[in-house]
Chain A
């Protein structure tokens, strides 16, 4: 399996499309907040408003970790390992 490392994360590219860094950050924060609300509704989860910031914090953390995985290029024939045999 051939590996091509070094591709930029999509999130990094997206950030560059905004004119000002602060604006980009604010938009990202807004999008996570909106994502939490929309997902809660779609998943049938009742979110106490007091939980929102903590859930959003954890989702940002997950997406930061996900970006690190996402930016690693894998070939199209890479197989996932959902049932894993060591």
Chain B
């Protein structure tokens, strides 16, 4: 089907596209032109792109086609289009990070490290994606660029802050995209948009040449419509980088060869207590995944509510520190919802922030003990399916909670200590919702193996939107 009309590529994943390009069944140029056509046609509805790098993408595709014509060996992601949250540096573009203020920055001189690594693996950047301002967001709304829209219901949120990444992948514009996750910004849009997301171990993927938010908690990672695509992108991006002080000096550990090892011998438990779903959809999603895995044991992750609070304080304080100079000079150019939180964050007593960092170490030690008993833990990714754009509150049990602060209720305690997580979409009707598969540090392979097995069983899948 790959050689027919451009629209036929809309739902192809990266792996078969790369295989077709490598085999000469289709050109990289044709693939990129098809992606650009989809973006022109559908993005006015999804509002996921803030820049399309058409000339660059076509030039890159032509270079790859020329390499193939010469008989050169082609890399794993050859010809696969991708896009990045607009906090990644893209040479020639100012790095917006979802803001108005950064539009005045000079264009980046060099791509973010992860873009360079993906392009070295043959992938082709086609643009930069909408996001919540300065990544301080769980909704995917942006007052400067407008909200990114959920491909399964255009009136609903994508989740944030990597909202454009969720919309672009879930809407079939690109097979995979990159985003960032400080408190849940990969896992929340994955859940609301019904796609797969990988938040790797803290320090695994370099953040060099991306706009930061909270140095203690910032992670980068891929979104895709299949587990294999997550793994392919992840393997292409691993490796030490001196340019990110938090990047671990650790050899790459490829996961693609281990994907199909199955789940035999893996001990999987369901997070209890704080993580017990309080909506029918969150409960149904975790139950279906747990049932497919034969996970009939609950495990308590101690003090998780407190962990979320500690993440909240560190985020407010470090985020404020990052923005203090801009708050002095450009306060009126911020989204008021972001500005007022940052100003309040600047006023947080340092003694309490240090206490939160001490608690973080205590919590890490306690949670790591659990991995002596289990290999993976299941928890909801979001408390509910996608709220309406502009919706201010949602009901959780008997409690009415603000949407903006609480979509990350279940993600924050996990990223707080840097554990690797794969968010897997459960295609419930009418809207999908994801489950987190949480593993021990550096065991992305375990979380991805579980996701791959669930996908093979048909329990998790990225549903194709009808539009």
Complex: how many Å from CA A61 to CA B348? 11
Complex: how many Å from CA A76 to CA B341? 31
A55 touches B203 (CB 8 A): no
B339 beta carbon closer than 8 Å to chain A: yes
Interface string of A52-80 (1 = CB under 8 A from B): 00111111011101101110101000111
Q: List B334-354 residues whose CB lies under 8 Å from chain A.
A: 336, 339-341, 343-349, 352, 354
Interface string of B304-334 (1 = CB under 8 A from A): 0110111011001000000010011001100
With A43-B346, A81-B357 as given contacts, are A86 and B419 in contact (CB-CB < 8 Å)? yes
B364 touches A86 (CB 8 A): yes
B328 touches A66 (CB 8 A): no
What is the interface of chain B mostly: helix, strand, loop, or mixed?
A: helix
A45 beta carbon closer than 8 Å to chain B: yes
Complex: how many Å from CA A55 to CA B342? 9
Interface size bracket, B side: 35 or more
| CB-defined contacts of B201 to chain A, threshold 8 Å | 86
State the Cβ distance, A59 to closest chain B Cβ, in Å: 4
Interface string of B357-384 (1 = CB under 8 A from A): 1111110110000000000000000000
B355 beta carbon closer than 8 Å to chain A: yes
| CB-defined contacts of B339 to chain A, threshold 8 Å | 51
| CB-defined contacts of B306 to chain A, threshold 8 Å | 68-69, 72
B417 beta carbon closer than 8 Å to chain A: yes
| CB-defined contacts of B303 to chain A, threshold 8 Å | 72
A36 beta carbon closer than 8 Å to chain B: yes
B418 beta carbon closer than 8 Å to chain A: yes
B341 touches A58 (CB 8 A): yes
State the Cβ distance, B220 to closest chain A Cβ, in Å: 15
| CB-defined contacts of B313 to chain A, threshold 8 Å | 62, 65-66, 69
| CB-defined contacts of A70 to chain B, threshold 8 Å | 352, 355
B418 touches A51 (CB 8 A): no
A78 touches B347 (CB 8 A): no
| CB-defined contacts of A58 to chain B, threshold 8 Å | 316, 340-341, 343-345
Complex: how many Å from CA A73 to CA B410? 24
Q: List A1-36 residues whose CB lies under 8 Å from chain B.
A: 1, 3, 35-36
Complex: how many Å from CA A48 to CA B303? 38
B125 beta carbon closer than 8 Å to chain A: no
State the Cβ distance, A34 to closest chain B Cβ, in Å: 11
| CB-defined contacts of B360 to chain A, threshold 8 Å | 80-81, 84
A54 touches B336 (CB 8 A): yes
A44 touches B347 (CB 8 A): no
Complex: how many Å from CA A43 to CA B361? 30
A46-B331, A84-B203 are known contacts; what are 5 more A-B pairs with Cβ within 8 Å? A45-B327, A58-B341, A72-B303, A80-B357, A81-B358
A-B contact pairs, 14 of them (CB 8 A): A43-B328, A48-B331, A57-B344, A58-B345, A62-B312, A66-B349, A68-B306, A69-B359, A70-B352, A70-B355, A78-B358, A82-B357, A84-B360, A86-B201
